[in-house]
Amino acid sequence: GAGVSQSPSNKVTEKGKDVELRCDPISGHTALYWYRQSLGQGLEFLIYFQGNSAPDKSGLPSDRFSAERTGGSVSTLTIQRTEQRDSAMYRCASSLGPEVYETQYFGPGTRLLVL
């Protein structure tokens, strides 16, 4: 089937506004991951979902960041009161299960620009 999809592909917002980024994983994949990739920086882990629960939220940078996953499928990453330093490429990945041998497949990303 289709790969991981993310929307929007680009988002420009003003400082202080809230934004929602969406990830649609590969059908049947139970594990879902959010990452942030800034210019000159490596991929930064944000949060991991197994089904609808999030056993590892250790990468969320502040309480302005939250994520949810419903129906074991689509996930939404919400950034409240955006700041210019939130500007980055946000990438989602999914895998069949949570084990290390399960390949993570990445989506095309959402490029966020906070003015």
Residues at the interface with another protein (CB under 8 A) = 4, 31, 33, 40-45, 48, 55-56, 58-59, 91, 93, 98, 100-101, 103-109
Q: What is the DSSP letter of 39?
A: T
Q: Tokens 């500007």 sit at which residue? A: 87
Q: How far is the CB of 48 from another protein (least distance, A)?
A: 4
Please state the φ and ψ torsions of residue 110, each to the nearest 5 degrees. Answer: -120, 120
Nearest CB to another protein, comparing residues 16 and 65: 65
Q: How far is the CB of 46 from another protein (least distance, A)?
A: 9
Question: Would strands 53-56 and 65-69 be described as parallel, antiparallel, or unpaired?
Answer: unpaired
Q: How far is the CB of 106 from another protein (least distance, A)?
A: 3
Token representation of residue 21: 């980024």
Name the amino acid, one letter, at 86.
Answer: D
Nearest CB to another protein, comparing residues 53 and 84: 53
